[in-house]
Amino acid sequence: MNEQDTGRAEKHSETWVWPAVAIAAVAVVAAGTAVGFGLGNWRSHTTTVTVAGSTTSAPSAGAAVSPTVAAGAHTFVQFACSQCHGPQGQGGVSPYVPALTTVGKTLTVAQLTQIIDHGLGESANPTKPYMPVWGEVISKTQVANLVAYIRAGLPAVSQNDPVPIPQGQGQAVAGAALYVRYGCINCHGPNGLGGVPNPLSADKSIPPLSGGGFRHDFPTDAAIAAVIRSGSVIGKAPIVSMPHWGGIIPNADVAALIAYLKTLK
């Protein structure tokens, strides 16, 4: 964000300005909970000013946060939490998916861990999105990092944008990137190879989205689109089911995902 401004201030300000800026920054940080903020981050006035600026929320800001919180922020994007809950958990994607900006204060570490591992219950033939079950897919360390990130107030972390979607290069190219952006790859593997363990399910693993078996069971675009939109609940937690993406993934993106899946082996 303000790196240029900061640089200018450093060059042109009188030195007596700095204590005032630093005190203001300390006050801002102290007013927040500043969970996980290490002293090691207070290296320079530049860092101090960056942190103070980021509390006024610029999503692409490079706030200084602890490695645990930073890891949680990246995991939040990698597993597409941000695709349902909005960037930095700010909501606004679907009326059925809550913002996460206040749960860090209202839910305990144990409660948040339980929700991420086991979801919040899903019904057969759901008509709206449900919180997926992640316990078999996301490691204990990654879940702990996610919880730390949520409890820190989901701060902005630099270089944490979802993968860009190439434009004007055809549906299959866009679909390959969307497969990563929506986190399909985490459950269905690279190239749709499947194999991610799902021990209590009948298949013992999350199914592939390539190969003859898949083509046989899902012979048409409409059949694939239907399961992406409505999900497919195959059991209660800790069994991992197919999330319901209706109202989350726009039709054009569903079509691009299907075009990509058809290029696979």
In the three-class reduction of DSSP (H, G, I as helix; E, B as strand; rest coil), residue 123 is classed as coil
Binding test (CB under 6 A) with ligand HEC, winner from 1, 65, 77, 97 = 97
Provide the sign of the torsion angle of the four alpha carbons 180, 182, 185, 190, taken in this order: negative
Contacting ligand HEC within 50-69 (CB under 6 A): none
Binding test (CB under 6 A) with ligand HEC, winner from 51, 112, 157, 259 = 112
* Binding span for ligand HEC by CB under 6 A among 17-25, 43-51, 55-63, 209-217: 209-217
Q: Closest approach of Cβ 146 to ligand HEC, in Å?
A: 5
Q: At what angle do helices 109-118 and 140-151 cross, to 10 degrees?
A: 130
Count of Cβ atoms closer than 10 Å to residue 216 Cβ: 8
Distance from C-alpha of 265 to C-alpha of 261, rounded to nearest angstrom: 9
Distance from C-alpha of 260 to C-alpha of 192, rounded to nearest angstrom: 10
User: What string of DSSP letters covers 5-66?
Assistant: HHHHHHHHS-TTHHHHHHHHHHHHHHHS--TT--GGG---HHHHHHHHHHTT--TT------
Which of residues 45 and 188 has its CB atom nearest to ligand HEC in the complex? Answer: 188
Q: Closest approach of Cβ 132 to ligand HEC, in Å?
A: 5
Binding test (CB under 6 A) with ligand HEC, winner from 36, 62, 129, 246 = 129
* Binding span for ligand HEC by CB under 6 A among 20-28, 49-57, 157-165, 182-190: 182-190
Judged by the rule CB under 6 A, the positions of this chain that interact with ligand HEC are 79-81, 84-85, 96-98, 100, 103, 112, 115-116, 120, 129-132, 134, 137, 146, 182-184, 186-188, 198, 206-207, 209, 214, 217-218, 224, 227-228, 232, 234, 240-243, 245, 248, 257
